[in-house]
Structure 1
Amino acid sequence: MIAIANETVTLTDIGLFIIFLIVLIFPFKVKMVEQNLEAFLFIMGATAVTITSKWGLDLIALAASEPVIKGIVPAVFIAGLIFFYGKVPINRALRRLTNTIPLPVFVAAVVFILGMISSLITAIIASLFLVEIANLMPLERSDKIKMVIIACFAIGLGAVLTPLGEPLSTIAITKLQGPPYNATFWYLADQLGVLITLGVLGCALFGAFYVGRRGSRAEVQEIVDEGGLREVFVRAAKVWLFVSALFLLGAGMEVLIFKYFTKIPDYVLFWVNMVSAILDNATLTAAEISPAMSQSQINAALYGLLISGGMLIPGNIPNIISAGKLGITSSEWAKLGIPMGLALNAIYFIVVFILGINPRLGL
């Protein structure tokens, strides 16, 4: 055993850290892992739970039911059916829009609107609309991937504004609803709304330039059946496995989170929260956010979690849904996701910590 900062590093801690590194590296280095990311993460989650001796009927039931109870799997399945049976009118409508609206404007509008309404329609529904729109965009595949990644950053940011948007915001509101913050429905919108809106707008403008102006235009493709109804069921099953895997991984990693992360200064925690690129940011929120924290600490932790969730596929539900639907690999996502996440983190760090700017909406 090793002692670090008054904490004893146990063999369990070392084992969890090794799992963390494997989850971070293998999807980019091992082709089989990249092609079977859901199963790989499930195995890693199960391993983390095993070495922390957390297995039990309650955990198994939660891992199996949470993707359904939270509405993720039902939303993916129902939306799949809607888009499957409505493919003809959807195709016609999008064809009309892309023929009449300049591509940079259309890309910016899609990114901004989905990012801002995700807090009301949920990040899940916003991402389902995104992948169907992207599937029909008059762009080459590489440019569709860029647009989707940029839009997922926007959705991940915008969804925090209300407790309806995503689990992270629900947990944050729940933990802060008592004194001294007495958080209500619009609490996060009041605290983070200005910088979050500017972040979503920045993503939209970046998308307009990086994809809309520089992207290669292609013919709008008719929606194909992609395996018919069977594909709708398969996609929902894969999302269930993915979310269940992240739930297990988060449960296993709680030992490290509570033992080390919660004792880190806020300005350091902002950067450390880049681990939300591979860990469920809702789990990290549950561990980190506390009424005992100052408002600046709470804001800093949330900004770090929200931005970094877009960097890699496991970081956010929108990423998972989009990557699964469009067949985006971990390497393809990281090529833009990592530099964009680092750039956004740097901008927010300068604004929030160095310049001390965090205006409120006054709700």
Structure 2
Amino acid sequence: MADFSLWGSGGERINLAREQLILDCPGFTNRWERLRFYRAKRGNQRINNGDGSFEDMENNFMEQRAKERIFRLFDKSPICILHEYCQSVLHVQSTFKPLVVENDKQLFHYAIVINNVTYPTGSGNSKRLARSEAARLALFEMLPEYKAFFEEKIQSGSQITESTGSMLSEADLNLFRAVSVTDRQVYEIVTARQLNCAAPYTIFGEYVKRHCIPESDVHSNMIIHNKNNHIYEISVGEHRVQVSCKNKRIGRNHAAQEMLAKLHPQIKTWADLLELYGPNTKPDRKSDNEAILDAQTRNSNSVKTGVIRILKAKMLELSHQWEAAEDGKRKGKFNVSPNHLPVVYFHPDSATNVYSYPPPDPSYSGST
């Protein structure tokens, strides 16, 4: 670094850069002192409201910044939005407080506490649903804009989805109509638009799950070479692919594209693959959840019609199997022949006791 300095008449060393800074900002030795001074000055200033009251300028400035903050509500869960609002605006931490509610159909109950203020309680059949409901109720009170956004979505009939199970819109699918399965732009589009559900490695995991491929048959490995030049390898049974990559995250997604293209040679575009294994193709489990909830809330003494129907079907199936057997006889059927009746002996002291074996001879002695 160059030393821009001179020697004064008194023998002292003069730094030209520092002298220029002092001339530009008289009274300050560096820019940090200048910033601290103007911040303190701005904090001490007050605004006259005209009615004899004064308002702190610094607090008004912070409130204005908080009002002008923009939140991206799409593809975000209520918990994510609440954490972002608490950290970036309120600068506090939100905590979930578990509660116990007697005689309630829901299993879990949570309330959010922010600045020692407890917001309405959220309920659900799981901890995730209860926390999500509690975060949504807290946002309704803290952010009226979010409540208006939520009500608008409900009125329009669109489904509010969580970030973990978000669906792909038609516009998102159109982005991949002209993109081939092995094109490297797939991962770039997914990263730019935050479509994690359409990532190549996620689709590859869905393929493995639907085809019931054991984990022992899926192998992945990265061979490290020089900087930003590695080899990532994926093998499924007898299929094996290798791609060059900069890091593991990019490598496994590119390798997943090559593997899916090898497993599905008839599919040409990534949109066709999303229509086959994407999040929109997952079965709707709403009816199953409603049936489970109905079975849990039903009275224990009521008739289980579903169980009776299943039991009847199983019994009829067993009956048909027994009738179609080779011997033509049902297992466990008792057949009595009139020519081979069992011998019955009566006890001499009782006319009601019946034995299927002869009574012991009283003249017989056990001692010899």
Please, what TM-score do these two structures have when normalized by structure 1?
A: 0.20
Question: Which structure is richer in relative contact order (CA contacts within 8 A, separation 6 or more)?
Answer: 1
Q: Which has the higher helix share?
A: 1
Please, what TM-score do these two structures have when normalized by structure 2?
A: 0.20
Q: Which has the higher strand share?
A: 2
